[in-house]
Structure 1
Amino acid sequence: MQTDQDSKPNAGEFELLTAKQTAVLHLLAQGRTSKEIAGLLDTGESAVNRHIEIMRSRLGGITRLELARRYRNACPDAPSVLRVDSSQQKIDLVAPPPTDERPDRDDAEADLLFQDSLTMKIEAPWAGQEEPVVVPRVLDGANATLTRGAAITIMVTSILASLVLAITAAWAITEALGG
């Protein structure tokens, strides 16, 4: 557990920093994220995190927030985080909605009115089909299931018949050659 004395910066904590570490800590003191710091310094986010982790471990495993606070306290040229006193300011971003009197939609007349818009997509009959035709017209239509089933049965039967014919021919050639 950290005490109040642990959070006070020592005189030599930030003296032996490299240029990159100083730049990273300077931007971290401004409250920037690792991704923002990496973008500003044209380095990788992992390199920025490595610099921060080295400083955190050097100072005893403190948090990033504590590291930024110590850097601001130790270096007089470090930027301070801007703070807004929200108790004195009120910013209205959106005007309150208008309160006009509209009739209820639950009455009997509301059922007869068409107030909701409806989007319909109707294609012209001459536009043609957008999808390519995969199945021939013979296998499509009212009896498509029956026709396709018959076509599959005919194909399977012809494959089996050709297989039996090939085996019979191979057997006959073997017998003819005396094997």
Structure 2
Amino acid sequence: MSSFQNDTAHFAGLTEKQTATARLLAEGFTAKEIAARLTISESAATKRIEALRQKFGGITKNELARLAREEFSGSPSSHTVKVFEKNRDFSRAPDGEKLTWKNFDLPNTDGFRNSMPRNRPETELNFSDGFTLDATPPWRARREERLVPEVLDGEHAAPARWAYVVGAAIGMAILLLVLLAVADALGNLA
């Protein structure tokens, strides 16, 4: 539990930089926005806020913002005695004492046990398109007449291709020999 009796004395003892930081904090700016307004780094703004929190007895950032708001707005409640307790129940506090944030509790896990699981079994999943397209994708082969016979593209394609290559090589060799024989015969005529 930390307490202090005179808020004005605490705010009066602040430096000029701390006062500027407290004023911006009272207006609801984040540490990043305070840093941008004061043209300092975000870590420097965070250090200033932490120093202010420690100077006020380790209160939370929200409590510090509320105190600064009361001090700089000139409301009469800023000169009263303040006592801050770590585990205070703010739900029963008067309206002026309530914090600006709310504490949201998570529901019990018992309520989730009876509900449907988030991930359904694979047998229940049904993936489908919203509509069908009749376009042929660019990576799919076009449906044209086959230029390669089925024997070269079927079950025994590799041996058939080797046989075709060997046959073509033998055919070229025979053609070359025939052409050489014709050239030799033409050479003997003259």
- Pair member with larger Rg: 2
Provide the TM-score with structure 2 as the length reference: 0.39
Provide the TM-score with structure 1 as the length reference: 0.41
Going by fraction, where is helix more abundant, 1 or 2? 2
